[in-house]
Amino acid sequence: MTQKLFEPIAMGNIQLKNRIALAPMTRGRAGEKRIPNDLMAQYYYQRASAGLLITEATVISEQGNGWIDSPGIYTDEMVEGWRKVTQKLKSTDTPIFLQLWHCGRASHSDFHNGQLPVSASAVKLNGDQIHTPKGKRSYETPQALTADGIEAIIQDYQMAAINAKSAGFSGVEVHAANGYLINQFLDSKTNLRNDQYGGSIENKYRFLKEVLEVILNVWSKDQVGVRLSPNGIFNDMGSQDFRETFLYVAKQLNTLDLGYLHIMDGLAFGFHEKGDPMTLAEFKNVYKGLIMGNCGYTKDDAEDRILNSNADLAAFGRPYISNPDLVERLKNNWPLTPFEDMSLWYTPGPEGYTDYTPYNS
């Protein structure tokens, strides 16, 4: 098999040295104040042999929070913290995109001084309990956003995009996957609205459309990506019309000429079983720009998707936790270090985060 994974590729005006991306993964090292730090800078620097780095999901506002110790991008201190990361990467030739995040209903009032989380509609997330600053809690029925509330969040996305540019990022990825707020507007399971943001697929897409409009006023189109999870069950998602919905979304995104479309086509996080899983080939038929595939890939999975022209880039998540030199290991067929203790994925400090060593070091 050829090793096309390791060939360079252009993403608009951005040159990538290979086709491997560090997938966004929540790691919970930003502390209670959600300010990125030197430890996080070291983590991304260790993984800079990737063609593209995508940060962990980063909340756009206080309202967007829903995960303990995840970073934000809505205060000056957070911007300065992220600048430590981007400055450390200046000595590499690796672009880094900030993933913009709003948890929506996948949150709890403990994060919001007693205020309920928000969503497209008042539909409760059925699932395991959520970890909050006050301990494990059951999910709550969220507040359905008003039109004014939606407009305020769109402005939060715009400010987050401005802050990301100020922090020195190469671009931004809009998190519209995994059952978080934008996904809650796209999915008919969670969007029961009967106004301009609900009902038809066109209306359910409107929120993402308006978010992208304000972000594209800040960033050039090749500096913006979008992430979708059409097959995903994470955070209690999945609707019967998923195929129709996500093909429509991809067709609309195709008109924007974005840097890339990031699609979680794998089933590593579960499958909602509302029909046959969607494939990258389906998206490639309607989306003509760069497609990044992701979700539980092996090297062979990634190579197969690229060789078959169904994907242009491949993102790796969990293997990157314990293999900071993943690109080198894949290229040379060196063995991967397994992640042996999942309890360390989200804990404070370097253990299970920056203490993995390169091969043969």
In the block, tokens 């899983």 appear at 277
> What are 215's two structure tokens?
């972000």
CA–CA separation, 38 and 85 (whole Å)? 7
Q: Does the annotation count 346 as an active-site position? A: no
Exactly one of 180, 260, 297, 346 is catalytic; name it: 180
Residue type for position 261: L
Contact 272, 237 (CB under 8 A): yes
CA–CA separation, 141 and 199 (whole Å)? 20
Instruction: Looking at the chain, list the stretches that DSSP marks H as alpha helix, in order from N- to C-terminal side.
Output: 38-46, 76-88, 147-166, 181-186, 201-215, 242-254, 280-286, 299-307, 318-322, 326-332
Contact 347, 354 (CB under 8 A): no
What's the first-to-final CA gap in the chain, in angstroms?
A: 28
CA distances, 189 to each of 77, 124, 260 (Å): 37, 10, 27
3-state secondary structure 177-206: CCCCHHHHHHCCCCCCCCCCCCCCHHHHHH
Contact 122, 142 (CB under 8 A): yes
Contact 322, 269 (CB under 8 A): no
CA distances, 291 to each of 121, 136, 224, 253 (Å): 30, 37, 13, 12
CA–CA separation, 291 and 298 (whole Å)? 17
Judging by beta carbons within 10 Å of its beta carbon (0-12, 13-18, 19+), is residue 101 exposed, middle or buried? buried
Residue type for position 275: G
Q: Is 262 helix (H, G, I), strand (E, B) or coil?
A: strand
The secondary structure of residue 228, as a DSSP letter, is E
CA distances, 279 to each of 10, 131, 179 (Å): 24, 33, 19
> What are 150's two structure tokens?
């939606």
Q: Which residues are catalytic?
A: 180
